[in-house]
A and B are shown apart, each in its own frame.
Chain A
Amino acid sequence: MMTLISIVALAAIGGLLGGLLGWASKALKVEGDPRVDELEGMLPGGQCGQCGEPGCRQAAEAMVAGKLGPDCCPPGGRSLAQSISSLLGVALTEGGEDIPVVARIDESLCSGCTRCFKACPFDAIVGANRQMHTVIRHVCTGCRLCEKACPQGCLSMDPVAPELHTWQWPKPKVA
């Protein structure tokens, strides 16, 4: 008798809780991970595709899913990687940082085709049809989209030279 009661009671509880869970999964369903939206807001939004994803939204999804590391966004740089890693709670690997670059147009080769100008998601290139183009260096994020668009091959990426106000003290070397 005792066994029967316990089996029935447990089955009832199990059924009840199962039903509750089934209902909850439908009624309280969350559309996507809210962290994806938050991450997307943090990314530069240039849709440059350097992370290997088609755009920033997909990159945010991949980072939340753990397929991409927090340091996958070169235009965002180290500071973005750090804030993403603290948001997702993922450790940041030391030292794997890219050297920051900016685009440079060899103006003697530029034909004024406006392709780089159209490709730049940040409006960091100024120019007009059949006019020489140039890069606004402090706006350029070094996303390399213009480099691919240039038919003349006159776009190159230069490493950013340190200046007085951007120079950083090196970390002391301790034996």
Chain B
Amino acid sequence: MLALKRKPFHGGIHPTGHKELTANEATINSDEPQRVYLSLQQRNGVVLRSHVNVGDTIVKGQLIATGPNDMCVPLHAPINGVVDAIGPHVSAHPSGLKVNTLVIRGNGDPNWGIPHVPCDTSKLSPEEIIQRVLDAGIVGLGGAGFPSGMKLRFARQKQVHTLLLNGGECEPYLTCDDRLMRERAAEVAAGAALMVRAIGCSQGIIAIEDNKPASIDAMRSAISDRPQLSVQVVPSLYPMGSERHLIKAVTNQTVAPGQLSTEIGILVHNVATAQAVYEAVRYQRPLIRRIMTVSGGALEQPANINVAMGTLVSDVIAKCGGLKMEAGRLIAGGPMMGQVLPSPFVPIDKSIGGILALSKDEIRAEQSHDCVRCGRCVNACPMSLMPFQMAAHSRISDLDGARHFGLDHCLLCGACSYVCPSRIPLVQYFQHARSSLNAARTMERKSAQARQLTEARQARLHREAEAKKAAKAAKAARKPRKRTARTSTRTQRNTSNNTSSS
């Protein structure tokens, strides 16, 4: 009963952690990769414009591509080297589609091409801090990949009062945030303090799940001289890392469905983002490396590894000793919300927090059965939805029905699929239904545009015909008038002749 009372939000599950594989090993700093592959198209489809050409020599930290606006972050060179090619290469997107990719051949030199001297951050204005975050190309390192600078700017405009740092890391296997908080607690705290100043809010809370006692101790000692920061321990329950659920657990406030957390004055950032913000503001270093967990039963040496953006997954796995058996599945991210990688030759991007090479034993059999209406998914759903109903409607492509049961509010956290005794691929149904809905919306927009265009065209043709008719009429009207004008001048001339002759 006590345990029930302490549950911080409805639903949630306790998946097997598997964190012991990597939690107690120090982070490995990977060498400069021989080649990096940087996608010139973001996941939302926005195309970046490259500022370099094939054959150009580039230095580590150099700006190499920018997007059309602040909503897409700039791209920086993660290594020193030469641009080898710009062409299609498979991306980390689950579709496995090829996108335009910039390939850099490295020369192995680990030094920054541009010197980055530390600056006195206390002299920077909030807007300067936000600008440095934007210029460094930082996106949310928790996985969503939203530009962090824009998030800070919105929060400043909304006058947010609390910054919440997400040290939940509720996904099984992943320990990169845990290791980061243990090894670089001071940098995380400094980054948090900078973000608090940038937003202009009163306090920053670092929320850490209770299964990471070493991180809690490290962060507590790191913030001891910063009165605006505090550490709050939250119970470990999946999906604690979700923004809404972390807010509920820490402040007991609920973010209404369809609303953003800034509406109730709270901004959530990942702890790894805070560390990147510190580097960006203090040293003006762009985000070109991140710490990620490489784990799974098929891997020889699971580890946390600090890896350059654009390194191929196959190179990262090789760095961790390679595979000791055939991997049943390669996953980018955690096992609950991660995406199956279409190929091992996919480059790492900023939002990938882990690579899992799962052995055959760690994957559940595909065989699924009919729904037995046990209701476990309803109990597990952290958004209080009815996953089995949503799946039933999605299965027959009744998207409106699925939306009626809350498809738009689904986090795609996978708790329902995890508990389902019939092994129904619930999340996959929701992914499919969501993307079909998006496609339908795009199609609707396109057909509305087509209708507008035909109407505009008909109006134009009508106008042109009218103008032609008017011109014809004017011409017809002008002809006799011209004649009369001519006759009048003639008579005038005649009269003048007459007067002169007379």
User: Chain A residues with Cβ under 8 A from B444's Cβ?
Assistant: 79-80
Bound-state CA distance A43–B444 (Å) is 11
Please state if A45 and B436 are interface contacts (CB–CB under 8 Å).
Answer: no
Q: Is A78 an interface residue (CB 8 A)?
A: yes
Chain B positions 449 through 472: 1 when the CB is less than 8 Å from some CB of chain A, otherwise 0: 111011111000000000000000
**With known contacts A168-B435, A168-B436, A77–B45 Cβ distance under 8 A:** no
Q: In the complex, which residues of chain A have a beta carbon less than 8 angstroms from the beta carbon of B447?
A: 44, 75-77, 79-80, 141
Q: How far is the CA of A61 from the CA of B43 in the complex (A)?
A: 43
Would B428 and A163 count as touching, CB distance under 8 A?
no
Report chain A residues within 8 Å CB of B456: 123
* Bound Cα distance from A75 to B453, whole angstroms: 13
Task: List chain B residues, Cβ under 8 A from A170.
Answer: 432
What residues of A have a CB within 8 angstroms of the CB of B97 in the complex? 162-164, 167
User: Considering only CB atoms, which chain A residue lies closest to B425 in the complex?
Assistant: A172
**Does A6 interact with chain B (Cβ within 8 Å)?**
no
Partner of A167, one of B93, B425, B443, B451: B93
Within 8 A of A (CB), among B353-392: 366-368
Counting chain A CB atoms within 10 Å of each CB, the highest count among B395, B441, B444 belongs to: B444
Contact yes or no, B368 A174, CB < 8 A:
yes
Q: Which residues of B contact A76 (CB under 8 A)?
A: 443, 447
- Bound CA span A134–B99, Å: 24
Q: Smallest Cβ distance from A40 to chain B, in angstroms?
A: 10
- The residue of chain B having its C-beta at the shortest distance from the C-beta of A44 within the complex is B450
Q: B-facing mask of A148-175, CB < 8 A → 1, else 0? A: 0000000000000011111111111011
Q: Does B29 touch A at the CB level, under 8 Å?
A: no
Which range holds the interface residue count of chain B? 35 or more
Q: Do A165 and B44 form a contact, CB below 8 Å, given A171-B432, A175-B367?
A: yes
Bound CA span A164–B98, Å: 9
Q: Say yes or no: A164 contacts B91, CB within 8 Å.
A: yes
CB neighbours (8 Å) of A124 from chain B are 453
Rounded to whole Å, the gap between the CB of B324 and the closest CB of chain A is 30
A174 engages B439 (CB within 8 Å): no
**Interface contact B432-A168, CB-CB below 8 Å:** yes
Residues of B near A14 (CB, < 8 A) are none
Measured between beta carbons, the chain B residues less than 8 angstroms from A162 are: 95, 97
> Would you give the 0/1 interface string for A44-78, flagging 1 where the beta carbon is closer than 8 Å to chain B?
11110000000000000000000000000001111
In the complex, whether A82 has a CB less than 8 A from a CB of chain B is yes
Q: How far is the CB of A83 from chain B (nearest CB, A)?
A: 8
Contacts of A44 in B (CB 8 A): 447, 450-451, 454
Q: Once the chains are docked, how many angstroms separate the CA of A47 from the CA of B458?
A: 11
- CB contacts under 8 Å to B, within A115-139, are 121-124, 138-139
Q: Does B484 contact A (CB under 8 A)?
A: no
Question: Which of B428, B436, B451: most chain A Cβ within 10 A?
Answer: B451
Scoring B95, B434, B436 by chain A CB atoms within 10 A of each residue's CB, the highest score goes to: B95
Q: Check B45 against A169 for contact (C-beta < 8 Å).
A: no
Cross-interface CB contact of B453 among A122, A165, A167, A174, cutoff 8 Å: A122
* Contact of B440 with A by CB under 8 A: yes
Bound: A152/B42 CA distance, A: 39
Is A164's CB under 8 angstroms from B95's CB?
Answer: yes
Residues of chain B within 8 A (CB-CB) of A121 are 454, 457
CA distance A174 to B428 in the complex (A): 11
Known: A80-B444, A86-B400. 7 other contacts (CB 8 A): A45-B454, A78-B443, A122-B454, A163-B45, A167-B93, A167-B435, A170-B432
Contact sample, A vs B, 28 pairs, CB 8 Å cutoff:
A44-B451, A44-B454, A45-B451, A76-B443, A77-B443, A77-B447, A80-B443, A82-B440, A94-B397, A122-B454, A124-B453, A139-B453, A141-B450, A162-B97, A164-B41, A164-B91, A164-B93, A166-B442, A167-B93, A167-B97, A168-B432, A168-B435, A169-B434, A170-B432, A172-B429, A172-B432, A174-B395, A174-B424
